[in-house]
Structure 1
Amino acid sequence: MLEIKEKDTSCRARNALMTLPHGTVQTPAFMPVGTAGTVKAMFHQSLEDMGYELILGNTYHLYLRPGMEVIRNAGSLHKFTTWDRNYLTDSGGFQVFSLSSRRKISEEGVRFSSHIDGSYHTFTPESVVEIQETLRSDIQMVLDVCTAPGISKREAEEALKTTMSWARRAKKRWENRVEGYDGKLFSIVQGNFYKDLRKRSVEEIIELDTPGIAIGGLSVGESKDEFNEFLAYTAELLPEEKPHYVMGIGTPDYILESVEHGIDIFDCVYPTRIARNSTVFTRDGLIALKNQQFQFDDQPIDPTCQCSTCQRYSRSYLRHLFKAGEMLGPMLATEHNLFFLANFMKEIRQSISEGRFLEYKKTFTEAYYGAKI
């Protein structure tokens, strides 16, 4: 499934090709989040034109709306949305974690009430695999128990025990998938912020031998130092030949840190969410287009950027769109942010190819964050 093409000898960064049912993905790769089958404010064609080969959908949201009958009638999530490249679908574990007041976890699975109409539903490891089979997900995630920082070791151990039991059940169901469906199952490392539990989780996952491995339970409210420490510790334990996925990161610093430690794919709503609130990436860091300072600014968002937004529109005009509440503002800002990240990933892969990733990380970070590292 993963063919490692190049490594940077100064760290664990690597370029690879990940073969999936709807085409090959060049990694390291950022996945835009299309929770409900759409990346907010973006045309699918625009994502294709930027070179995105893999986007994320969400089992929890798609199961509730439009529902599996609609997807089944269309034939797959790809046909329903007209996205003919790859989908990774999150199992819904994080949504269940986020909606803690609406759910109850047991050994069998998780019972929750819909945020849409309050109706009750149950996810089991097996049913989540079945839902993603209906979606025809190219990568599907096991159902897991995500935990917040600060819980006791006993609580973390119980959550890990449930996660691993669920992972084994999911693997068994995935092995009996319908003929003609070859989506890849990824297990998820948990263990909270206890290194011995993380190590135990990785050891059990290696024994389970799923096609890919995700590092879960990071970017859930911990400090940046904690993120870096536990990312480095966990990534070092992962088998090199498997694809590595860190869930829920989308800022340049976290992406660069992850790539340095051999992570292949990552996703986050951050780039599109901030765009809808007028905040955009530039080589010199974030800017908020609503700010007064851009009222008469005729420059593009980023003079070095080749996206269609930067090639045509000024900061002044974009500020006007946001101040006037025009929907074109979030659309243009989103297009810029996702183009910026697609180009960022190309530059990362190029730096790995040339054996200068750490130099690129240093140069980019100093310009973007305005501080020496």
Structure 2
Amino acid sequence: MPASPLPGKVLVTGSAGFIGFHLTRLLLDEGWTVLGYDGMTPYYDVTLKRRRNQMLLQHPNFRVVEAMLEDAESLDNAADAFEPDIILHLAAQAGVRYSLEEPKAYIESNVIGTFHVMEVARRHSVKHLLMASTSSVYGGNEEMPFLETDKADLPLTIYAATKKAAEAMGHSYAHLWNLPVTMFRFFTVYGPWGRPDMALYKFVDAILNGRPIDLYNNGCLYRDFTYVTDLVRGIRLLIDAIPEKPPRPADVDPGDSLSPVAPFRVVNIGNGEKTSLLNFVAAIEASLGVKAVRNLMPMQKGDVEATWADSSLLSRLTGFRPNTDVGEGVAKFVAWYRDYYGK
């Protein structure tokens, strides 16, 4: 495990988002100075984003710029005034299903917005650019657990395609400008302060309000559920694992996704377990003390039956492996939800 550097200045895009909020809190607790950059888009309840933002603003080492990634001038001005050492790019148009309805939003945010972030990283010669990707890039792959060295050329949605495009652009910037870039692929992230469009949030809300829950593919789905504090701990540790271009292509270790021609790497951050959706629902029912009314549905367009991460590379690089039990993580979300909504 690499030695941790002294805290410096970090630009976090999407700081008011679910993952960005938890990551920013962790960095501030460690003594980093953080500039948040968030568009406060209305994809889901902006009130939730503003509550997260208000909590972050209580810390003296945090300030935020509210603007869109597509607004290159605002992003440039914010970065030029702040002069970041590290950039953590989390902002994106999220949601697999929404990409079927509004694909243009994904191109604008996830491709054009990411290009603007990479330009900032290049101009400021940051020590490390870390950018969020997704397990969705594995697309039609059927061999599991997913390895970073597996091909990921069969995206099933525009969301996945834009994230794969961001990975490809990141590699080109790493090669052209010797810019260290790490892409981290999220799996199914859950936990307190989660997004209302995510399964756990929707299921808890429906069950407590007496509505049925929709289980696609008749509930025969499997996901690598990753608790949010495990995820952000993994991201934090990856800051220190700065990729370096190998002296020769043949010098890349087997099993490492390090590029043979650039300081670029892809890393899975997942719990390393394949959990059935039905068992996930059972954990929710146990935490709530209420049985769900189940509405069995056919498979959704663009969805996949299973995701499952091999997290051994993360462990090799950082000495850390996510390990929060699903039952424990769900109980923590339920406790937060009841407190937040007074239910």
Q: TM-score, normalised by structure 2?
A: 0.35
Structure (1 or 2) with the larger CA radius of gyration? 1
Q: TM-score, normalised by structure 1?
A: 0.33
